[in-house]
Amino acid sequence: MTPLPLTRRLAGRLRRTRSALAARSAVVAAAMAVTALFMTAPAHAAADDGPAPVPAPVFTDGYGLTQVGTPAVHSSTDFTLTVTTPELSGQHKIRIFLPQDYATQPGRRWPVLYFLHGGGGTVDDAAAAPALHSDSMITVVPDGGLKGWYADWVMQHTAMGAANWQTFHLDQVVPFVDANLRTIGDRAHRAVAGLSMGGFGALHYGELRPDLFGHVASLSGGIDFGMPAVRGAVLATELNVTGAWCAVSTSTPSGTGQCTGYGPYIDSDAIFGSPYAVFDDHVWNQVDPASTTNLARLNGGDITLYTGNQGPIDHFTEIASSTVKNRLDQLGIPSRYVDYGDGSSLSPTCDGGHDYGCWSAAFADYVPRLAASFAAAG
């Protein structure tokens, strides 16, 4: 056979190359179309695996809160809103856990637990305590700031800007939640619980607004402002002195290097004013959860205190919690005090220290008791 001229052979090869490229382009286009489908459609649309998840409830702005963007939906019963308010600088998250039956029982109303996270923490810390996602109640986890201390700060012009955390939580988040979800909006069906910095917040809020909260729980809380060690913990957050408190007050495991501290350095008088009596520490004394004047306001409420006694932090939270328990007893106010010591009586995950290995187990003990109290209230 006579060989084809070079030009004819090149022309044929070019036609075959064009055909291959066209086929390859078609395949790529099809793959891109399928990829786009999976990227824009909900994950459940990829397979016929049952009914689509129920979307998160739609919230209406109000009480000074304005929503930003769309909620981050972790599941049909777990989502996070982002809001702004003139009371705080920046954007702030509110994570909400709904009972499994919330959407399927539209005529039912639910009690509410407010969980307050610790210093250096975020709303996502709540996921480290599975008991908080209960089918017996709605759980609301509002941002408390890296060092908000659940207070309206004395200084409003620091590097943190507006910092009225107490007003945000009590005057905005609570009515906002009641307006948008099917809650039972009375004190008998509303609880506040927190750990570490949030343990202070829970007891403080319970004392400040007994009309809102009939149930209060503090876990390893900084709840005695008469103790220099507790005042020192507040100062450490103001001055952004990281270390043990930052590493273990969040759900981030210690030693991972992910604890980023408490935010910008601010004046040591910024939150509660001067911590020194000689320079007038009246704000500290006014908000001290361990003062008998404040504790007396808890009369008629359901009060629970948890603490271990291991390590440099819970050594002090045990002292603070014991002081509060003794003063409640002196006032004749019933309370439940759980000192789990080295943790062996609480859970194999608990070493008696200031961490979620203990707090998760404590909530596993507390939440069913709270659910029973809610149920007993009718």
Rounded mean pLDDT of 185-206? 98
The answer on pLDDT for 239 being more than 80 is yes
How many Å apart are CA 192 and CA 138, to the nearest integer?
Answer: 12
* Per-residue CA distances from 59 to 31, 62, 65, 73, 94 (Å): 38, 9, 11, 13, 12
Percent helix, percent strand, percent coil in the chain, to nearest 5: 40, 15, 40
Contacts of 95 (CB under 8 A, 6+ apart): 78, 79, 80, 81, 123, 124, 126, 140, 141
Per-residue pLDDT, 243: 66
State how far the Cα of 306 lies from the Cα of 353, in Å rounded to an integer. Answer: 12
Which is higher by pLDDT, 37 or 221?
221
d(CA 209, CA 307) in angstroms, rounded, equals: 24
280 pLDDT exceeds 90? yes
Q: What pLDDT is stored for residue 249 in this prediction?
A: 66
pLDDT for residue 26 = 37
DSSP string, 73-118: EEETTEEEEEEEETTEEEEEEEEEE--TTTTT-TT--B-EEEEE--
Confidence of residue 344 (pLDDT cuts 50, 70, 90): very high
Q: Any idea where the domains of the chain sit in the sequence?
A: 10-43, 66-376
Does the pLDDT of residue 83 top 60, yes or no?
yes
C-beta separation of 358 from 347 below 8 A: yes
Separation of alpha carbons 196 and 158, rounded Å: 24
Say which residues have a Cβ less than 8 Å from residue 271's Cβ, sequence separation at least 6: 147, 149, 151, 153, 154, 155, 163, 234, 238
User: Is residue 45 predicted with pLDDT exceeding 90?
Assistant: no
User: Which position has the token pair 């001055």?
Assistant: 239
Check pLDDT > 80 for residue 33.
Answer: no
pLDDT at 64 > cutoff 60: yes
- The structure tokens 């099917």 sit at 182
Confidence tier at 142 by pLDDT (50, 70, 90): very high
**Span 173-183, average pLDDT:** 98
pLDDT for 46: 34
Residue 241: per-residue pLDDT: 86
Percent of residues, the chain, with pLDDT higher than 90: 79
Single-letter code of the amino acid located at 19 = S
Cα 200 to chain centroid distance, Å, stands at 14
The pLDDT-based confidence of 207 (bands split at 50, 70, 90) is: very high
Q: What is the pLDDT of residues 148-159, one digit of tens each?
A: 999 999 999 999
Assigned CATH for 66-376? 3.40.50.1820
